[in-house]
Amino acid sequence: MTSTPDHSRENAAPLAGRHALVTGAGSGIGRACAIELARLGATLTLVGRRGAALEATGAELAGAGHGLAVADITDFAAVRAAFDAAADLRGPVAILVNNAGAAKSAPFGGTDPELWNEMLAVNLTGTYNCTHAALAGMQAAGWGRIVNIASTAGLTGYAYVAAYCAAKHGVVGLTRALALEVAKQGITVNAVCPGYTDTALIEGAVDNIVAKTGRSTDDAKAALAARNPQGRLLQPADVAATVGWLCLPTSDAIHGQSIAVAGGEVMCG
């Protein structure tokens, strides 16, 4: 005899009452993460440098009580002020998604100090700044979720993006060290490592392929998609689904991991 599953006791809003802050929420993966966390019931603070982009994301969120904070994550003091203001309005940050980032490519010889420092500042130091601003509140509450959007470039090397790769490997290292430090405090720390995802960020890689090969933009995108064994560019929602899962109360045991969301491009373990 088959039986119909009983879903009546499933919680449709498992993150209700949790304040989630997503950096880089005005576009791409960050926007998808914010939408997913709001769908799961969280109250969002959206962070980025472009207020209009954050407002556009805010208009897509389920639920009420969300807000935004315009801040540059590379600025320690500005991040602290933005997080404190958000906590005054929505309570301490319980869920932090360190998503804001940028990817510039150059051969190593052409990687000047400006490019090197810029990649480390936004991808690695920004993650440190935001985590530093949120951690004490999570510790006081005895519960928290930190999800760092790293990259497959945090797990393996790619030519012509040494600074980005170094920064994303640093994010994975930060994830592992902090996970051990807070393991008994009710806080989980994980990294999500997307492969090539169809957002504005890959436009630089697409432009490089077009410039070097004379291919069309569509052909260049297809070349990136071909690196994924599934033969496709990931969608931001693919990444957001994993972020949402990591933030669930039932994901307590997933800790210190760097999870590739890349269609099999990178295999760990």
Which positions from 57 to 86 touch ligand NAP by CB under 6 A, shown as an x/- string? Answer: ---------------xxx------------
Please report which helix (H) or strand (E) contains residue 23, including its range. strand 19-23
Which of 124, 118, 111, 197 has the alpha carbon at shortest distance from 159? 111
Residue closer to ligand NAP (CB basis): 49 or 232? 49
Query: What phi, psi does 167 have (nearest 5°)?
Result: -65, -45
| 242 touches ligand NAP by CB under 6 A | no
Residue closer to ligand NAP (CB basis): 19 or 168? 168
In the complex, the smallest distance separating the C-beta of residue 1 from ligand NAP, rounded to whole angstroms, is 47
Residue closer to ligand NAP (CB basis): 24 or 58? 24
The rounded distance, in Å, linking the Cα atoms of 114 and 162 is 13
| 102 touches ligand NAP by CB under 6 A | yes
Name the one residue in this structure whose structure tokens are 């600074």.
163
| 49 touches ligand NAP by CB under 6 A | yes
The rounded distance, in Å, linking the Cα atoms of 188 and 264 is 25
In the complex, the smallest distance separating the C-beta of residue 8 from ligand NAP, rounded to whole angstroms, is 37
Name the one residue in this structure whose structure tokens are 């990259």.
151
Cα end-to-end span (Å), the chain:
40
Which of 193, 183, 194, 186 has the alpha carbon at shortest distance from 256? 183
Q: Which amino acid, one-letter code, is at 130?
A: C
Residue 20 and residue 45 in contact, taking contact as beta carbons nearer than 8 Å: yes
The rounded distance, in Å, linking the Cα atoms of 144 and 137 is 9
Out of 175, 199, 257, 258, which residue is the one contacting ligand NAP (CB under 6 A)? 199
Number of helices (H) and strands (E), helices first, in the chain? 9, 7
In the complex, the smallest distance separating the C-beta of residue 17 from ligand NAP, rounded to whole angstroms, is 26
Is 164 noted as a catalytic residue in this protein?
A: yes
In the complex, the smallest distance separating the C-beta of residue 140 from ligand NAP, rounded to whole angstroms, is 26
In the complex, the smallest distance separating the C-beta of residue 222 from ligand NAP, rounded to whole angstroms, is 15
Q: Which stretch binds ligand NAP (CB under 6 A): 106-114, 133-141, 180-188, 197-205?
A: 197-205
Out of 62, 106, 202, 248, which residue is the one contacting ligand NAP (CB under 6 A)? 202
Question: Which residues of this chain interact with ligand NAP, rule CB under 6 A?
Answer: 23-24, 26-30, 48-50, 53, 72-74, 99-103, 122, 149, 151, 194, 196-197, 199-202
